[in-house]
């Protein structure tokens, strides 16, 4: 098989990676992993937690070489390799350990309005949270460790196996993930990495029991269509066009500082990075000056050899060219560049200057176009209501933020916004909070990762209903008998209608069930 090659976009140096995977072998790989998973699913939460803890220690102990591997794949500044990648993984590992200590994999069901009836009939229900089996994790290049590692951690903690398809641009980090799970003592073959172009689409139809996809909306739609052929459930974390709303009472200095980071972290290649900044009239001019001056002061280059570098490269030449094409479209639409708008030819890599755009019409098609690069647009608004309408008038709804000194005002506006996560007086970083759900609406995807909600989505809720056998028959069983319809009508009226005659209705109903022995009913 061909060997993958990683090209560091910061300096165009090349590193040999793992062998590419033959797509024709994927179905057999999934079948073999399912046998490993069955044994893993029978382990106790305590045993799983011990493996997760060892992995967390490895991530910490090997942080330096892990960070270097990430840099070789992505060209990220050294700081970001630790802050946005490794830290997200260690935090998730710690969270999974806590989940495994407290999560109830078997829960008794509260029957609510049916509780009295079920008690009298001697019946109860349980929910067993059962792992799906093999989870396919198809990931993107922008966070080659943090995204697939956190999703795989949730999957295996829930008792699944995980087969990971990293981006073909980041094969070194993908191979490292499999190595780390193996070194931490997880069963051989429980977590596998497969590589190569075209492998992701093949994996979507290779028989995995659930698919977790992170990437562009168009590709995510194709994955969903492929999965639909076998009715395979999916979680899709897709594109974003996050809004950053600055109200007239905000701390402008703090907001500007965060906006710079939120817009240009990972060179803007973040689904939840800021791409639309909405400024309330009255503070727009002042904020713009503060923001642009900070952007122009950023240093761009190889952030591994120079720790004062803040903005790294685009992942490859294709994405760099796409930034140029987007900027041409911005000019055609009437947008004006306050800074940037072109590639940085002074550096030997795929660098595009941090770009700030003004005067782009709000109804421009580019408003619903994911930039996924270092381009951010500025807009103005009048009232809080107008801000909400502008933010929500977008096909993407992954994240966003509101900036104000009045927390109650900020929360009111945040509650009106569509994105899956809305921050008040911060932005973008909450992917790193493992106890909070992560997911979007509209074209930003479906389903949830992270938090207890995400953990539950790695398992199937298996309902077990137990009848103690107290009665010879149910009142609704055949053959139907005289008085049966009246008993059912009375039961419905008493318990789910106007609530009249509960004791009489229950007595008639239980008599129709023919108890095996007198239970002392009223």
| Both structure tokens of 228 | 């639909």
Render 493-521 in DSSP notation, one character per residue: HHHHSS---HHHHHHHHHHHH-BSS----
First to last CA, the chain: 77
Asked whether residue 109 falls in the same domain as residue 167, the answer is yes
Element (H, E) at 445: strand 445-446
Q: Are residues 457 and 483 in the same domain?
A: no
Cβ within 8 Å of residue 28, ≥6 positions away = none
What is the Cα–Cα distance from 118 to 506, expressed in whole angstroms? 11
| Residue 518 confidence (pLDDT) | 55
Checking if the pLDDT of 52 tops 60, the result is yes
Residue 44 falls inside a structural domain? yes
Nearest residue to 374 via CA among 516, 473, 495, 266: 266
| Judgement on whether residues 270 and 217 belong to the same structural domain of the protein | no
What mean pLDDT is reported for the chain?
95
Domain shared by 226 and 291, yes or no: no
From residue 470, give the alpha-carbon distance in Å to each of 123, 212, 516, 522.
9, 45, 6, 16
- The CATH number covering residue 345 comes to 3.40.309.10
Residue 64: the pLDDT is: 98
d(CA 243, CA 279): 10
CB atoms within 10 A of CB 65: 10
DSSP code of 82? Answer: I
Rounded to 5 degrees, φ, ψ at 267 are 55, 35
Report strand pairing: 441-442 vs 396-397. antiparallel
Q: Which domain holds residue 505?
A: 473-513
Least confident span in 223-227, 478-482, 510-514: 510-514
436-471 as b/e, with b when 16 or more CB fall inside 10 Å?
Answer: ebbbbebbbbbbbbbbeebbebbbbeeeeeeeeeeb
Among 51, 89, 258, 271, which one carries the catalytic annotation? 271
Could you read off the pLDDT of 317-373 as tens digits, one per residue? 999 999 999 999 999 999 999 999 999 999 999 999 999 999 999 889 998 999 999
Report pLDDT digits (tens) over 153-209. 999 999 999 999 999 999 999 999 999 999 999 999 999 999 998 899 899 999 999
Whole-angstrom distance, CA of residue 311 vs CA of residue 298: 7
pLDDT at 505: 83
CA–chain centroid gap for 209, Å, is 18
Q: Which of 80, 85, 151, 237 is catalytic?
A: 237
CA–CA gap between residue 317 and residue 340 (Å, rounded): 18
Tokens 């911060």, located at residue: 426
Whether 370 and 477 map to the same domain: the answer is no
521, pLDDT greater than 60: no
| 117 in the same domain as 91 | yes
In a domain, 11, yes or no: no
The pLDDT tens digits for 196-251 are: 988 998 999 999 999 999 999 999 999 999 999 999 999 999 999 999 999 999 99
Residues composing the chain: 522
Same domain, residue pair 354 and 420 = yes
Q: What is the pLDDT of residues 79-113, one digit of tens each?
A: 999 999 999 999 999 999 999 999 999 999 999 98
Q: Is residue 20 part of a domain?
A: no
Same structural domain for residues 246 and 349?
yes
pLDDT band at 514 (very low <50, low <70, confident <90, very high): confident
3-state secondary structure of 280: strand
d(CA 313, CA 300): 8
What residues are paired with 402 via a beta bridge? 245, 424
207 and 250 share one domain: no
In-domain check, residue 468 = no
Which pairs from 333-338 meet CB under 8 Å and 24+ separation? 333/360, 333/361, 333/364, 333/365, 333/366, 334/359, 334/360, 334/361, 334/364, 335/359, 335/360, 335/364, 335/366, 335/377, 338/288, 338/292, 338/378
pTM: 0.94
Per residue in 128-145, pLDDT (tens digit) is 999 999 999 999 999 999
Closest CA to 56 of 189, 183, 174: 183
Q: For 407-430, how does the pLDDT look when each residue is reduced to its tens digit (9 = 90+)?
A: 999 999 999 999 999 999 999 999
Q: Are residues 246 and 298 in the same domain?
A: yes
279 and 169 co-located in one domain: no
Judge residue 213's burial from the number of C-beta atoms within 10 Å of its C-beta, 0-12 exposed, 13-18 middle, 19 or more buried.
buried
- Whether 16 is in a domain gets the answer no
Which whole number is the average pLDDT over 483-505? 85
Across 375-394, b (16+ Cβ under 10 Å) vs e yields bbbbbbbeebeebbebbeeb
Q: Into how many domains does the chain fold? A: 3
- In this structure, the answer to whether residues 396 and 259 fall within a common structural domain is yes
- H/E run at residue 53: helix 45-61
Band (491; pLDDT cuts 50, 70, 90)? confident
How much is the pLDDT for 522? 40
**325 in active site:** no
Asked if 258 is an active-site residue, the reply is: no
- pLDDT, residue 513, reads 86
């Amino acid at each position: 098989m061909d060997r993958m090659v990683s090209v560091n976009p910061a300096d165009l140096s090349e590193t040999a990676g793992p062998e590419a995977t033959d797509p024709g072998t994927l179905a057999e790989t999934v079948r073999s992993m399912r046998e490993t998973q069955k044994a893993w699913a029978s382990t106790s939460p305590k045993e799983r937690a011990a493996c997760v803890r060892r992995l967390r220690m490895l991530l910490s102990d090997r942080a330096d070489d892990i960070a270097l591997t990430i840099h070789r794949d992505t060209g990220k500044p050294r700081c970001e390799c630790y802050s946005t990648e490794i830290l997200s993984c260690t935090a998730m590992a710690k969270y999974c350990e806590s989940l495994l200590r407290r999560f109830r994999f078997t829960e008794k069901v509260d029957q609510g309005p049916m509780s009295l009836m079920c008690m009298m009939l001697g019946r109860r229900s349980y929910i067993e949270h059962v792992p799906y089996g093999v989870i396919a994790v198809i990931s993107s290049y922008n966070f080659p460790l943090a995204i697939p590692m956190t999703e795989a951690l949730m999957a295996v903690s829930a008792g699944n196996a995980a087969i990971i398809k990293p981006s073909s641009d980041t094969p070194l980090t993908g191979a490292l993930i499999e190595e780390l799970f193996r070194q931490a003592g997880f069963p051989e073959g429980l977590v596998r990495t497969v590589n190569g172009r075209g492998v992701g689409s093949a994996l979507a139809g290779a028989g995995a029991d659930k698919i977790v996809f992170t990437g562009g909306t168009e590709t995510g739609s194709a994955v969903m269509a492929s999965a639909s052929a076998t009715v395979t459930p999916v979680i899709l974390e897709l594109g974003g066009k996050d809004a950053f709303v600055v109200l007239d009472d905000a701390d402008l200095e703090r907001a500007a500082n965060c906006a710079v980071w939120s817009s240009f972290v990972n060179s803007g290649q973040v689904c939840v990075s800021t791409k639309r900044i909405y400024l309330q009239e009255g503070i727009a001019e002042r904020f713009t000056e503060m923001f642009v001056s900070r952007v122009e002061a950023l240093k761009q280059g190889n952030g591994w050899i120079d720790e004062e570098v803040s903005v790294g490269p685009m992942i490859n030449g294709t994405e760099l060219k796409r930034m140029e094409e987007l900027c041409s479209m911005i000019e055609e639409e009437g947008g004006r560049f306050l800074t940037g708008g072109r590639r940085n030819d002074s550096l030997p890599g795929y660098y595009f200057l941090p770009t700030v755009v003004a005067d782009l019409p709000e109804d421009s098609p580019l408003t619903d176009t994911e930039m996924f690069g270092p381009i951010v647009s500025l807009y103005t608004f009048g009232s809080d209501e107008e801000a909400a309408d502008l933010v929500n008038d977008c096909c993407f709804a992954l994240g966003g933020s509101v900036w104000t000194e009045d927390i109650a005002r900020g929360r009111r506006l945040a509650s009106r916004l569509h994105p899956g996560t809305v921050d008040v007086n911060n932005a973008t970083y909450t992917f790193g909070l493992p106890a909070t759900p992560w997911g979007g609406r509209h074209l930003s995807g479906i389903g949830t990762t992270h938090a207890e909600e995400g953990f539950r989505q790695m398992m199937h809720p298996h309902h077990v209903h137990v009848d103690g056998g107290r009665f010879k028959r149910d009142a609704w069983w055949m053959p139907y008998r005289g008085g049966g319809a009246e008993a059912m009508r009375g039961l419905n009226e008493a318990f789910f209608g106007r609530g009249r005659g509960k004791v009489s209705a229950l007595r008639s109903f239980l008599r129709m069930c023919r108890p095996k022995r007198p239970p002392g009913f009223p």
